[in-house]
Structure 1
Amino acid sequence: MPEPAGPRGEVAALVAVQSSLAGRPGVLSTARGMSHFGEHSIGWVIVALLGALLNERRRRQWLLAAAGTFAAHAAAVVVKRIVRRKRPHDPAVAVNVGTPSALSFPSAHATSTTAAAILMGRAIGVPLTPVLVPPMALSRLVLGVHYPSDVVFGVALGAGVARLALWLDRKSR
């Protein structure tokens, strides 16, 4: 009798990420911390509101970052409810954190983090996307709560919402 085939496609990629990273010291606790920080975009919105409070000269940019980040999260929730893709459930995938819903596509964490990175980077004049987005995106895979395509689409959606927020801001001046 032939042996059952191992995970394939996105599940195989997810298992590969988990097997190479999840057992390293501090990785799971850091990924869980990032998950809690990014839940419903709350951590990023708080950072942006603090920026608005502390940096009067760039207050408009910080408020745009808060609004754009929250809008990105909302956009991800709308897409989740339309697509209704279930989170990974293969026995080879370890789920290492609780989630507020069973819906996976797209990753709202990747979406809001990307929007926050673009918009807050603009507020401080430093590109934050390469520093903030890859760790959050990878954390979603390490935690076993998203397929790679959920994360990739979330990054693209977050970038699109950030660009739309910037465009709307320019039009309103």
Structure 2
Amino acid sequence: MSSASSEVQILQAVQSTIASRPGVVSTARGMSHFGEHALGWVAVAGIGAALDKPRRRQWAGVAVGAVGAHAASIVIKRIVRRPRPNDPSIQVNVSTPSKLSFPSSHATSTTAAAVLLGRLTGLPLPALLVPPMLLSRLVLGVHYPTDVLAGSALGAASAVAVLKAEQKFGEK
């Protein structure tokens, strides 16, 4: 069995078990719209910067990390050029701005934002925010499992880069 067919089987299983529950697809669509182009994370960072002036630079780092991670994922998508799932057994439940799948930009920006927000707030946000976003991309039928896993790894690396830059330039 090829890895592509294994990934289609995983998508089928997710869609037949999780996506079939009431409210799951509509919630996943809402998450998709929030995460589109990292705009939801930029909004969260903007609100944080407005309300928490002493840590405004760290809140800006959240926005920079999410947008930078998103940008990195777009560059990689254009190099790899993996098409989105296209199997008659997979239901696509949301529109996408491109036909490219690897890595998931939603997974990338969400992981970067969650790591940076978690560090800023002291909350376990990566554990709370990342798995639902990754799963939502499978529920919606727009990514393979390896797309979301690679996106999450790229997002974590992007967050680390922001944290190292903050350390280098004297941020707490």
User: TM-score w.r.t. structure 1 length?
Assistant: 0.94
Which one-letter code corresponds to 1:142 in the other structure? V
Larger radius of gyration: 1
d(CA) in 1 for partners of 2:54 and 2:132?
Answer: 30
From 33, 36, 57, give the equivalent of 1:36.
33
Q: Is residue 2:87 matched to residue 1:66?
A: no
Gaps of 5+ in 2: none
Number of residues of Structure 1 aligned to a counterpart in Structure 2: 167
Secondary structure of 1:8 counterpart: helix
d(CA) in 1 for partners of 2:5 and 2:122?
Answer: 42
Moved more, 134-143 or 52-61: 52-61
- Quote the offset at 1:17 in angstroms: 0.6
* Equivalent residue, structure 1, for 2:98: 101
From 125, 129, 135, give the equivalent of 1:128.
125
Q: In percent, how many aligned pairs have the same letter? A: 63
- Quote the offset at 1:8 in angstroms: 2.8
d(CA) in 2 for partners of 1:152 and 1:42?
Answer: 21
d(CA) in 1 for partners of 2:13 and 2:103?
Answer: 20
- Quote the offset at 1:166 in angstroms: 0.4
d(CA) in 2 for partners of 1:127 and 1:162?
Answer: 15
* Equivalent residue, structure 2, for 1:111: 108
Gaps of 5+ in 1: 1-6
Aligned-residue Cα RMSD (Å) equals 0.9
Which one-letter code corresponds to 1:83 in the other structure? V
* Equivalent residue, structure 2, for 1:138: 135
d(CA) in 1 for partners of 2:122 and 2:20?
Answer: 36
d(CA) in 2 for partners of 1:149 and 1:169?
Answer: 30
User: TM-score w.r.t. structure 2 length?
Assistant: 0.95
Runs of 4+ in 1 over 2 A off after TM superposition: none
* Equivalent residue, structure 2, for 1:4: none
Q: Which digits, 9 at most, give the CA deviation of each residue in 1:81-122, with x for residues without a partner?
A: 000000000111100000000000000000000000001111
From 23, 45, 48, give the equivalent of 2:45.
48
